[in-house]
Amino acid sequence: MITIPDLIRKKRDGGQLSDDEIKAFIQAVKEKTIQDSQTGAMLMAIWLNGMVSAEIKALTREMMSSGEVMEWPDEWKNFMVDKHSTGGVGDKVSLVLAPALAACGCKVPMISGRGLAHTGGTLDKLESIPGFKVEQSREQILEILDSVGCCIVGQTETLVPADRVLYALRDITSTVDSLPLVTGSIISKKGAESLFALVLDVKFGRAAICKDLESATELAQMLVEAGNGLGICTAAVLSGMNSTIGRCVGNSVEVIESLETLKGNRPDDLMELVTTQGGLLLVMTGLVSDLSEGRKQISEAVVGGAALSKFQAMMEAQGVNSDTAQLLCSTNADYYSILRKAKHQLELKAPADGIVLEIDGLVLAQVLHRLGAGRSKAGEPVNHSVGAVLLVSIGQRVTKGDPWLRLHYEDLALTPDQRNHLESALTVGADKKIQTQQKHTLVEKILPEKYQ
């Protein structure tokens, strides 16, 4: 019988682990019969030597099978869909996309995460709404999907327990960026949702895990292959992540922007991501024949108010008082009568006349993180009121002294260094520089290309 040290040695020396060997490793992780130091050694061996496709498929399958796998009524099975983003700045796509998909006839059991480091978490955003409960039992999820069509919840204790162990150890062993381990973590959780179709938003750029299109494509191909390997119809959208998505960054302000989008006041870049990802899922489920028609249906669900109605119903089903939900979804909502507003607001001014050439999303997110909008360790609280609202767009002409950013912050005062850092996020240039810029779009390509 092969031992854990034998498995570590084999992977360390560049060998390919068999399905049974990977199963034995994940079983030991789940049953806690392996020492953390041994798990860490295996993770580092995988980080150093990578994994071939067969290994990644086995790893993903065994991680998924380490806990409960959701079951749905037969009549839902071809319409169970979800999405996953590799993380960005101002990424509020889920808050708009889930209800839009439900309005189009899909069932969306969206299991989301919390923010860590500079990236925001969907659950943190929703918890800025008083009463919103992200922890729901399997029975409650079934009930919400039956009555509403979508829910956005946290990972349950019984779902992919092996991933929780591996994720924590990846963080402290500097193996977070191993593509096979990233793939196993993401796809095993989606597999446990028993999805029919999945779309992955793989981001690249300064504010993303993948810094360039080449590495993002490598990750996307790995994720799509692993998803298809579990029997999930899987596609990936590769999108740029240098600036922000929409104009708001931070928990409460992103909820406000999401609600405004659902009321028809929609930023073009956010809607590009929502309609592309939603349109793909409608194609994959067979609800539409092509991506153009899919985009159109998702857009109509948002513009026509059907998605807003679903969002209101989802809030109420997940614990929000009906009067609160109704007020938030009303036409001229006084958002800050419900959502927490930061004690202080500060506007930053444009340093010169010219065209806005660039807004560095990573810089904004890093400063907001230090001011309390994010967390450095899992389990830390976040301040939902801290955030920033962009008052200008890329390509817009500004005059020296025009406000370009409104910062919302609490007791932690902005230090001179943080202010300088924020001001460096804006690049204003002469008119001639803007001539080379095209319309500001985020989606670079779609995999598989047959959906393009």
- Sign for the CA dihedral angle at 311, 279, 144, 153 comes to negative
Active site residue 369: no
Amino acid at 102: A
In 167-313, beta strands by DSSP E: 197-204, 233-240, 248-250
Active-site pick, 84, 190, 295, 370: 84
CA dihedral 439, 441, 445, 446 (to 10 degrees): -130
Which pair of structure tokens corresponds to residue 78?
């071809």
Burial class (CB in 10 A: 0-12, 13-18, 19+), 274: buried
Active-site pick, 114, 170, 190, 263: 170
Rg (CA), the chain: 22
CB 251 within 8 A of CB 373: yes
| Distance set, CA 324 to CA 174, 351, 369, 402 (Å) | 43, 41, 28, 36
Only one residue has tokens 């049953």, namely 31
CA-based nearest residue to 205, from 195, 192, 196, 216:
216
Active-site pick, 65, 85, 185, 188: 185
- Sign for the CA dihedral angle at 410, 416, 421, 426 comes to positive
CA dihedral 396, 400, 406, 407 (to 10 degrees): 120
Whether a cis peptide bond, with omega within 30° of 0, leads into 448 is yes
Active site residue 163: yes
Which pair of structure tokens corresponds to residue 291?
């991506």
**In sequence order, which ranges of 173-267 are alpha helices (DSSP H)?**
179-192, 213-229, 251-262
CA-based nearest residue to 391, from 424, 350, 420:
350
Active site residue 185: yes
Active-site pick, 11, 92, 189, 190: 189
CB 335 within 8 A of CB 385: no
CA-based nearest residue to 275, from 243, 309, 307:
307
Catalytic residue ranges: 84, 163, 170, 185, 189
